[in-house]
């Protein structure tokens, strides 16, 4: 599962880390976009053992895209923009 | 006279415009850092695209909304990126509990409150709907509009309503492969509603025909009147199994899928503020009770736009202006009476158009009742339809629960982070069918504060730095 960049690809690149590994994102990406376009494939494990999740509504309502961001705690990946050096951890 | 407006979409912008005209300086709050609402949402700054590319036919409307928002946000007491997470009565005043990264926790007391909090999508959970690669229709549109991304390489679109065809058109036009558009409303519904749509909103009908023609030309397959059976795949979407109108099963390969069956009002703040809810038979939903001017039975409480009743963006702009005039009238301030008459006439026509659109794309009432036992109903808590049936059914150890809040307590359905936004309509249908009662007997899933997750650490004193680290 992978999001595909269609437009607006001429943007400055921003490096973040996902579970310790370096990932290249673009300025203006949400954390969700950065992870799902770069092949991460998912954002979180369901706490109830039914598998991985990758968000659903993308507008801050469903809360199913929560990831851990160093210095911020739990945040919605769909509503958080990447910043250089941001450390994202998936649970 | 202290007034607050929650929401800076089309309704909130037009409400604030009228309040400013009357000499008031409303507190204006939105959870988003920017105005425009979801419909006219702008991408983050580094994504630089013209309004024409972003909003198509609606480009001029969108530009006007954004320009007006910029102007009004400087005149009003604008509070961006702020969540109103609780509303309480404090005698005649209304207390708004807010949280933002910038200001931390704050509390505002106001004399009147206008809620323009919009809507979220109505979902019928189908087997596999929690899998990566499945989003709402609105989600698929946001990915394209604000991030320049498609949710996959081969995207199927399933559900009903104008948004289904619009998003499928936007994807196909952007060059994404669209193997299937499955509109669960039969073609005959649209055909029968067309004359009424033409009479009340010819431009809207023409736009709709344009989008559907585009989709029919570009999508590999279009089916009307069918139903999705299950999404195939393990960690990702591989295919959709679906039935056509005659009940024949088909399989369509896809790596992503967008779902949605229209909108429902985001009225949790109205609920906390004491606004009554009643069952609406046409939608099969419990809906907040506001009259056509946006007044509620509660003193000082108003709502306009999709949060009061689903009507779409054009209607929301007019309803936003109208509700502000109603508020001014109620507090004895002078208001533009000529404008209020013009708006009432125009709103009546828009509501007739909306009724025709709802007949063309009827709500999927009762479809969730058929959910298989093993399908996840509440995605936050990963509770299946079968678990709800068992926990609330006649044989449950705790006794039967027909009423939805009781069933929530027994099963945890609707108790998760989203507070039932994704599952409550489906849960109500599952409960009603299981107990063989009418849908209106199940009642209304009450809102709980906080209406969205907030940092769990205690509210700091005003001088302290913002809270770091949040937990749902």
- Of the two residues A67 and B234, the one the predictor is more confident about is A67
Virtual torsion, Cα B96, B101, B105, B110, nearest 10 deg: -20
Closest CA of chain A from B171, distance in Å: 10
Interface check A59 vs B, CB under 8 A: yes
In Å, what is the CA distance from B198 to each residue of B45, B190, B332? 39, 12, 40
Which of A4, A13, A45, A67 is most worth mutating to test chain B (most B CB atoms within 10 A of its CB)? A4
Same domain (yes/no): B66, B7: yes
Is 70 exceeded by the pLDDT of residue B422? yes
Structure tokens at A14: 């921003």
CATH number of the domain to which B273 belongs: 3.50.50.60
Same domain (yes/no): B433, B311: no
pLDDT by residue for chain A (91 residues), tens digit each? Answer: 999 999 999 999 999 999 999 999 999 999 999 999 999 999 999 999 999 999 999 999 999 999 999 998 999 999 999 999 999 999 9
CB contact under 8 A, B139 and A59: yes
Q: How far is CA B98 from the centre of its chain?
A: 21
Is 60 exceeded by the pLDDT of residue B468? no
CA angle B288, B363, B261 (to 5 degrees): 95
Closest CA of chain B from A16, distance in Å: 17
Chain B residue numbers with beta carbons less than 8 Å from the beta carbon of A41 are 132, 235-236
Query: CB within 8 A of B291, min separation 6: which ones?
Result: none
| Residue B455 domain flag | no
Closest CA of chain B from A20, distance in Å: 19
Structure tokens at B20: 């400013």
Contact B441, B422 (CB under 8 A): no
pLDDT tier, B101 (very low <50, low <70, confident <90, very high otherwise): confident
Same domain (yes/no): B333, B407: no
Same domain (yes/no): B296, B313: yes
CB contact under 8 A, B43 and A66: no
Chain B residue numbers with beta carbons less than 8 Å from the beta carbon of A73 are 455, 468-471
- Evaluated on CA atoms A17, A19, A23, A26, the torsion sign reads negative
Percent of chain B clearing pLDDT 90 (strictly above): 90
d(C-alpha B353, C-alpha B332), whole Å:
33
d(C-alpha B120, C-alpha B9), whole Å:
13
First-to-last alpha carbon distance for chain A, in angstroms, is 18
Alpha helices in A1-86, H assignment, sequence order:
31-37
- Of the two residues B107 and B456, the one the predictor is more confident about is B107
In Å, what is the CA distance from B47 to each residue of A9, A62, A69, A84, B38? 8, 25, 23, 17, 17
Contact A66, B472 (CB under 8 A): yes
Is 90 exceeded by the pLDDT of residue B53? no
Question: Of chain A residues 10-39, which have a CB less than 8 A from chain B?
Answer: 11-12, 26-30, 33, 36-37
| Residue B229 domain flag | yes
User: What domain range includes position B352?
Assistant: 3-120+264-359
The answer to whether the complex's ipTM is over 0.90 is yes
pLDDT digits (tens, 9 = 90+) for B373-387: 999 999 999 999 999
Q: Note the residue count of chain B.
A: 472
Same domain (yes/no): B432, B327: no
pLDDT digits (tens, 9 = 90+) for B385-411: 999 999 999 888 888 999 999 999 999
Chain B residue numbers with beta carbons less than 8 Å from the beta carbon of A36 are 149
CB contact under 8 A, B235 and A5: no
| Residue B463 domain flag | no
Chain A residue numbers with beta carbons less than 8 Å from the beta carbon of B121 are 57
Structure tokens at B343: 């708006």
pLDDT digits (tens, 9 = 90+) for B135-191: 999 999 999 999 999 999 999 999 999 999 999 999 999 999 999 999 999 999 999
d(C-alpha A17, C-alpha A33), whole Å:
14
Least confident window among A29-33, B185-189, B416-420, B458-462:
B458-462
| Residue B282 domain flag | yes
pLDDT at B472: 41
In DSSP terms, B86 is beta-bridged to B97
Is 80 exceeded by the pLDDT of residue B465? no
Virtual torsion, Cα B312, B282, B160, B322, nearest 10 deg: 0
Say how many CB pairs under 8 Å bridge A and B: 161
Same domain (yes/no): B131, B116: no
Tell me, letter by letter, the H, E, C secondary structure of chain B: CCEEEECCCHHHHHHHHHHHHCCCCCEEECCCCCCCCCCCCCCCCCCCCCHHHHHHHHHHHHHHHHHHHHHHHHHCEEECCEEEEEEEEECCEEEEEEEECCCEEEEEEECEEEECCCEEECCCCCCCCCCCCEEEHHHHHHHHHHHCEECCCEEEEEEECHHHHHHHHHHHHCCCECCCEEECCCHHHHHHHHHHHHHHCHHHHHHHHHHHHHHHHHCCCEEECCEEEEEECCCCCCEEEEECCCCCEEEEECCEEEEEECEEECCHHHHHCCCCEEEECCCCEEEECCCCCCECCCCCEEECHHHCCCCCHHHHHHHHHHHHHHHHHHCCCCCCHHHHHHHHHHHHHHHHHHHHHHHHCCCCCCCHHHCCCCCEEECCCCEEHHHHHHHHCCCCCCCCCCCHHHHHHHHCCCCCCCCCCCCHHHHHHHHHHHHCCCHHHCCCCCCCCCCCCCCCCCCCCCCCCCCCCECC
| Residue B472 domain flag | no
Is 60 exceeded by the pLDDT of residue B307? yes
Same domain (yes/no): B133, B249: yes
SS3 A46: coil
- Of the two residues B57 and B140, the one the predictor is more confident about is B140
Interface check B468 vs A, CB under 8 A: yes
CATH number of the domain to which B386 belongs: 1.10.10
pLDDT tier, B464 (very low <50, low <70, confident <90, very high otherwise): very low
d(C-alpha B132, C-alpha B191), whole Å:
36
Decide which of B312, B333, B359 is a domain's last residue: B359
pTM metric for this prediction? 0.95
pLDDT tier, B469 (very low <50, low <70, confident <90, very high otherwise): very low
Q: How far is CA B148 from the centre of its chain?
A: 22
| Residue B464 domain flag | no
> Cβ–Cβ contacts within 10 Å for residue B74, how many?
8
SS3 A5: strand
Nearest to A7 among B49, B133, B472 (CB): B49
pLDDT at B457: 63
Interface check A87 vs B, CB under 8 A: no
| Residue B452 domain flag | no
| Residue B459 domain flag | no
pLDDT tier, B50 (very low <50, low <70, confident <90, very high otherwise): confident
Same domain (yes/no): B145, B72: no
- Closest alpha carbon within chain B to A56: B135
Q: What is the DSSP letter of A37?
A: H
Which of B143, B236, B456 is most worth mutating to test chain A (most A CB atoms within 10 A of its CB)? B143
Same domain (yes/no): B87, B209: no
pLDDT digits (tens, 9 = 90+) for B241-286: 999 999 999 999 999 999 999 999 999 999 999 999 999 999 999 9
Same domain (yes/no): B244, B311: no
pLDDT at B235: 87
Number of domains observed in the structure of chain B: 3
C-alpha atoms less than 13 angstroms from C-alpha of B71 in its C-beta half-sphere: 12
Same domain (yes/no): B248, B144: yes
In Å, what is the CA distance from B457 to each residue of A58, A89, A91, B472? 26, 21, 21, 11
């Amino acid at each position: 599962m992978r999001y595909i960049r269609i437009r607006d690809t001429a943007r400055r690149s921003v490096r973040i880390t996902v579970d310790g590994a370096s990932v290249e994102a673009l300025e203006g990406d949400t954390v969700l976009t950065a992870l799902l376009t770069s092949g991460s494939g998912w954002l979180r494990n369901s706490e109830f053992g039914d598998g991985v999740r990758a968000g659903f509504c993308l507008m801050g309502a469903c809360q199913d895209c929560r990831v851990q961001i160093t210095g911020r705690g739990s945040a919605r990946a769909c509503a958080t923009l990447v910043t250089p050096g941001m450390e994202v951890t998936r649970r | 006279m202290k007034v607050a407006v929650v929401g800076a979409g089309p309704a909130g912008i037009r409400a604030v415009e009228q309040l400013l005209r009357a000499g008031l300086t409303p507190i204006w709050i939105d959870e988003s850092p920017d105005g425009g609402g979801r419909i006219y949402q702008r991408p983050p700054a580094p994504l630089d695209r013209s309004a024409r590319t972003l909003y198509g036919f609606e480009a001029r409307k969108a530009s006007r909304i954004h320009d007006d928002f910029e102007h009004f946000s400087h005149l009003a007491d604008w509070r961006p990126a702020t969540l109103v997470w609780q509303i309480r009565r404090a005698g005649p005043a209304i207390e708004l509990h807010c949280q933002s990264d910038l200001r931390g926790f704050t509390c505002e007391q106001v004399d009147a409150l206008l809620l323009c909090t919009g809507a979220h999508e109505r979902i019928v959970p189908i087997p596999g709907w929690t899998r990566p690669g499945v989003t709402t229709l609105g989600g698929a549109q946001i990915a394209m509009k604000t991030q320049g991304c498609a949710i996959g390489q081969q995207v199927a679109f399933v559900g009903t309503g104008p948004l289904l065809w619009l998003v499928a058109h936007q994807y196909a036009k952007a060059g994404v492969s669209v193997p299937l558009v499955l509109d669960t409303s039969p073609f005959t519904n649209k055909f029968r509603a067309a004359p009424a749509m033409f009479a009340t909103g010819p431009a809207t009908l023409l736009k709709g025909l344009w989008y559907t023609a585009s989709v029919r030309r570009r999508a590999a397959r279009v089916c009307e009147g069918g139903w999705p059976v299950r999404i195939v795949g393990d960690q990702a979407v591989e295919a959709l199994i679906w039935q056509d109108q005659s009940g024949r099963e088909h399989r369509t390969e896809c790596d992503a899928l967008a779902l949605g069956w229209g909108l429902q009002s985001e009225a949790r703040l109205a609920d906390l503020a004491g606004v009554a809810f009643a069952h609406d038979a046409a939608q099969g939903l419990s809906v907040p009770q506001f009259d056509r001017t946006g007044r509620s039975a509660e003193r000082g409480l108003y709502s306009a736009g999709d949060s009061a009743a689903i009507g779409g963006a054009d209607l929301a702009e007019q309803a936003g202006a109208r509700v502000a005039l109603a508020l001014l009238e109620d507090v004895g301030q002078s208001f533009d009476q000529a404008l209020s008459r013009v708006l009432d006439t125009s709103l009546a026509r828009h509501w007739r158009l909306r009724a025709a659109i709802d007949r063309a794309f009827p709500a999927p009432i009762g479809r969730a009742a058929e959910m298989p036992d093993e399908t996840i109903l509440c995605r936050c808590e990963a509770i299946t339809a079968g678990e709800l049936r068992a926990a609330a059914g006649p044989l449950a150890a705790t006794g039967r629960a027909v009423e939805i809040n009781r069933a929530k307590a027994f099963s945890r359905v609707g108790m998760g982070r989203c507070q039932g936004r994704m599952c409550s309509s489906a849960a109500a249908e599952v409960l009603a069918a299981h107990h063989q009662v009418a849908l209106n007997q199940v009642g209304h899933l009450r809102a709980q504060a906080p209406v969205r997750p907030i940092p769990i650490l205690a509210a700091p004193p005003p001088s302290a730095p913002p809270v770091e680290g949040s937990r749902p």
